[in-house]
């Protein structure tokens, strides 16, 4: 296995505008991904996402930097970089979410890259990659459910 990228395509019964809000706004992110999110969703904007109770010392906090914000077509961010560092190729992972109108809904193309570029030793790389595959397999269906729940049904 190459451990280079994680890619998924999801069909969502909501417009790209709705899906873009779900993938970029902190109030919607909290509903499907982290337990807490603070983010300025503009290019160069930064923020944090927290998994677990933010008041707990066991909470996992990750910093994010928005790379692209092109509503309602693309949202991309870097994350998993060392505290105090500026996110850049080679020291972070890049998540790109492309939204394509499809019928009355949206085709979401998800891609996470940068695993090999981190320079991790093989065991660390394999573990990080496997953890992210499991994580996205858990969270991306929740994204779909969140977006679908925002669409008014007749």
pLDDT for the residue numbered 44: 97
pLDDT for the residue numbered 126: 95
pLDDT in tens, 12-55: 999 999 999 999 999 999 999 999 999 999 999 999 999 999 89
Question: Can you give the pLDDT at residue 4?
Answer: 87
| pLDDT at site 154 | 53
Quote the pLDDT of residue 2: 76
Q: What is the pLDDT of residue 3?
A: 84
pTM above 0.85, yes or no: yes
Q: Which residues of the chain have pLDDT under 50?
A: none
Q: List all residues 6 or more positions away from 148 whose beta carbon is below 8 Å from its beta carbon.
A: 12, 13, 14
Q: Which of 116, 131, 16, 30 is nearest to 75 (CA)?
A: 16
Give ∠ CA 108-132-121 in degrees, rounded to 5: 135
Q: Where are the domains of the chain?
A: 5-149
- At the topology level, CATH places domain 5-149 in Alpha-D-Glucose-1,6-Bisphosphate; Chain A, domain 4 (3.30.530)
Separation CA 105–CA 22 (nearest Å): 14
């Amino acid at each position: 296995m190459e451990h280079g990228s994680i890619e998924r395509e999801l069909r969502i019964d909501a417009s790209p505008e709705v899906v873009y809000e779900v993938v970029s706004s902190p109030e919607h992110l909290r509903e499907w991904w982290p337990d807490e999110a603070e983010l300025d969703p503009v290019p160069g904007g930064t923020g944090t996402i927290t998994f677990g109770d933010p008041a707990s010392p066991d909470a996992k906090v990750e910093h994010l930097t928005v790379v692209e914000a092109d509503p309602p077509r693309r949202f991309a961010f870097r994350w998993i970089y060392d505290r105090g560092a500026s996110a850049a190729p080679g020291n972070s992972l890049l998540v790109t979410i492309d939204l394509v109108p499809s019928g009355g809904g949206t085709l979401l193309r998800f891609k996470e890259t940068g695993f090999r570029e981190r320079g991790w030793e093989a065991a660390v790389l394999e573990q990080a990659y496997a953890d992210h595959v499991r994580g996205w397999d858990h969270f991306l269906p929740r994204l779909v459910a969140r977006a679908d729940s925002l669409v008014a049904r007749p």
